[in-house]
Chain A
């Protein structure tokens, strides 16, 4: 004898089991055409990132005749790991992240950089109420001892690594800041906002970001000012995975490099791309240019 409930249950159990099995079917690998996946460390607002790399993806797709897709990543170490694991083929890295990525991916090459990246600067900014004077020589950084100080993102070359290096040269360690530690605002824009508000008395930001913020009126000059500009160091660069020639055909890496170096303001779309990168042209770059950053990275424990 079966009552209605048991019947419902039995039917239900069958349906449940069927659905459960159908979940397994979806894991089967999809038919994958070789796609060039480009990525970047997230150092801009997403709208700008999407426009910049979206345009670049269509441009490269047209000139190289392969599908190209921009894959957004939302933090620095994830970009490095995605590159190592082969989820990203071509990535616009910062100085430190680029070196981390190349050390973890034997055979990865530096493809190009912008003119500005060969001589990149950071600026130290301070809230006017903190009573900090403009710094003439590197020793002047000692005046930051005992102040509330913030870096940008943990993996940022211009917002953390090089500023910390210059501070160390002046004999200042993060332990000597107020509270016994430095803050990590997470981004250059946040550093500017937090120093301007006075929550932190001083901070370090990338010079181009600072200049853009000043130009866009996001900085109140009566509240926050630059107290020091660092000596130049190498920064952003394109890094490419070693196996592209096997996946896309012989000489693909060279073609890719030519396509990037060949971007010119004469063409309308290429002009937009270059403008979004704040560059006139891309220029070739050598691994050796990043040697000093690697040493600093090792000293400060950011490269193991």
Chain B
């Protein structure tokens, strides 16, 4: 007898419950004291600074950010696909090898993924100094691991029957894999790979740490000094670039073909990724020429066992982990639950367009800015942090959901409508329901990202893992840094195991 399990669309909507406690706390803490600064912020949008110095700095910063994003994106796709293929069970099975190395590698890859780009940057900076490639590696390392995970999941969940047929017919495993899995994986690569470019741009923006003077440095410093007019100059430029990139990617995706045509496009995409990477490299060299001295390793004292033990007794483990988990769960709930609920409220194309614009804004506003804006009219609380991170990520999730929905044929919805279901119900069961499993899978990946992003909300008061990490880094207390990073890794790995279990329990029939 089958165990009862919740319906797929319910699982998609349920996380929105996180909004209830968050909104209650936010509502009770609301005050009007920050209105004047909000006003300054908003008027800055209409009058961004057009000072030549500011424009020049933003232009230069944009170049650095774009070049970094392109190069790190190209590298992360390359390594991600390679690593992802190596840790897929199906690849090892094709050669009739045991699959435990794949499982081991997969677990190992959780480590680079668990550490935020910002922290990777600071760590690499310790051993390589200020170098443009440090910024590139800081993005490429966690992103490769992320692409690897997605690639592997798609490889292992693809339809393996053609592959088995080919292998049992005596075809060489490599040829069999290429022939059987290429078409499907090509589509994944193109849609997901394009989306990673946007993520890389966002990350390159967030990373201003590297003395390269990227757009992120401009945004962060203007924000810290509350120079809203100058902040808006950078924000508008960022908006223009993001919009342009999204439109280009949409155009690309719309024209993706099938069969021979599709194969060619895939090859073209691969070439494009590498060409853009090369362009990024030269671009970086052009903008920051005198920083390209050779990379050299500068040693760092590794904390001893006694130091680690001492640090372990000093750290406030219980509140630290609890706060981080609370923040992550609430933020992930908002990020995953908000988009479907918002779309369900009023399933009409015009409303969905409004939602899509709102989400673009959420993606565009960097989380530190969002936290500060929320905090100006609210008391500091965990809810503010969760709301800020949740809203930012709901922008990403919302876009993924809308895109998935648009790619579906509306036959089920039409059928439900024809038998007299209401607009909302037919949307829910006809469109959202088939889309749910893949949406929830992306949600699980996003929760990973959210866990890492808890680093950026120290302003609400420090006791979470993220704040502790920044505090230890700024005290150069390496023993504590090591322990906190281990803690992040452990949380990421267990979160992943949990989400895998849940998915196999509830979503696979």
Contacts and interface: CB of A to CB of B under 8 A. Distances in A.
Interface string A158-198: 00000000000000000000011111111101100110111
A45 B229 CA distance: 12
Contacts of B211: 39, 71-74, 78, 82, 87-88
Contact of A199 (B34, B224, B463): B34
Interface string A21-58: 01100100110110100010010111101110000000
Interface stretch (B157-165, B471-479, B491-499): B471-479
A82 to B, nearest CB: 5
Contacts of B291: 71, 87
A77 B380 CA distance: 25
B461 A181 contact: yes
Contacts of B504: none
Contacts of A150: 380, 459, 461
A45 B220 contact: no
Contacts of B274: 16, 19-20, 23
Which of A42, A50, A189, A197: most chain B Cβ within 10 A?
A197
Nearest to A18: B274
A199 B379 contact: yes
B57 A47 contact: yes
A99 B375 CA distance: 33
A23 B467 contact: no
Interface in B454-477: 458-463, 467, 470-471, 473-477
Contacts of A197: 31, 33-34, 37, 376-377
Interface stretch (A5-13, A232-240, A251-259, A288-296): A5-13
Nearest to A13: B267
B128 interface: yes
Interface in B475-503: 475-477
B36 A220 contact: yes
B317 to A, nearest CB: 15
Contact of A42 (B127, B224, B294): B224
Contacts of B298: 84-86
A197 B376 CA distance: 6
A200 B225 CA distance: 18
Contact of A223 (B33, B129, B379, B470): B33
Contact of A47 (B131, B230, B267): B230
Interface in A86-122: 86-88, 100, 104
Contact of A78 (B122, B275, B293, B477): B122
B126 interface: yes
A241 B461 CA distance: 35
B376 A182 contact: no
A301 B477 contact: yes
B218 interface: yes
B459 A186 contact: yes
Interface stretch (B1-9, B140-148, B249-257, B277-285): B277-285
A199 B377 CA distance: 7
Contacts of A23: 274, 277-278, 281
B458 A186 contact: yes
Given A72-B217, A76-B474, A30 B33 contact: no
Nearest to A88: B130
Nearest to B460: A183
B316 to A, nearest CB: 10
A190 B476 contact: no
A78 B119 CA distance: 11
Contacts of B227: 45, 47
Nearest to B268: A12
Given A154-B458, A181-B462, A186-B458, A199 B380 contact: yes
Interface residues of A, number: 75
Contacts of A9: 263, 267
Contacts of B368: 186
A104 B474 CA distance: 13
Contact of B475 (A181, A218, A303): A303
A304 interface: yes
A143 B125 CA distance: 42
A199 B375 contact: yes
A303 B474 CA distance: 9
Contacts of A26: 278, 281-282, 285
B302 interface: no
Contact of B474 (A19, A88, A155, A196): A155
Interface string A115-139: 0000000000001000000000000
A160 to B, nearest CB: 10
B225 A45 contact: yes
A299 interface: no
A121 B285 CA distance: 43
A32 B222 contact: no
Given A45-B221, A155-B474, A29 B278 contact: no
B448 to A, nearest CB: 24
Contact of B53 (A8, A51, A189): A51
A56 to B, nearest CB: 15
Which of B298, B377, B476: most chain A Cβ within 10 A?
B476
Contacts of B474: 76-77, 154-155, 302
B260 interface: yes
Contacts of A181: 461-463
Contacts of B285: 26, 30
A187 to B, nearest CB: 4
A148 interface: yes
Nearest to A301: B475
Contacts of B33: 127, 196-199, 223
Interface string B43-65: 00000000101100100000000
Contact of A12 (B267, B375, B379, B467): B267
Interface of B: 31, 33-34, 36-37, 51, 53-54, 57, 122, 125-131, 208-211, 213, 216-218, 220-222, 224-227, 230, 260, 263-264, 267, 270-271, 274-275, 277-278, 281-282, 285, 289-294, 298, 368, 372, 375-381, 458-463, 467, 470-471, 473-477
Top 7 nearest A-B pairs (CB, nearest first) are: A85-B129, A198-B33, A87-B130, A197-B34, A45-B225, A187-B224, A197-B33
Given A81-B126, A155-B474, A183-B460, 10 more contacts: A8-B264, A23-B278, A30-B289, A71-B130, A71-B211, A73-B130, A100-B476, A184-B467, A302-B474, A304-B475
7 contacts: A19-B275, A47-B222, A74-B221, A78-B130, A88-B211, A154-B474, A186-B368
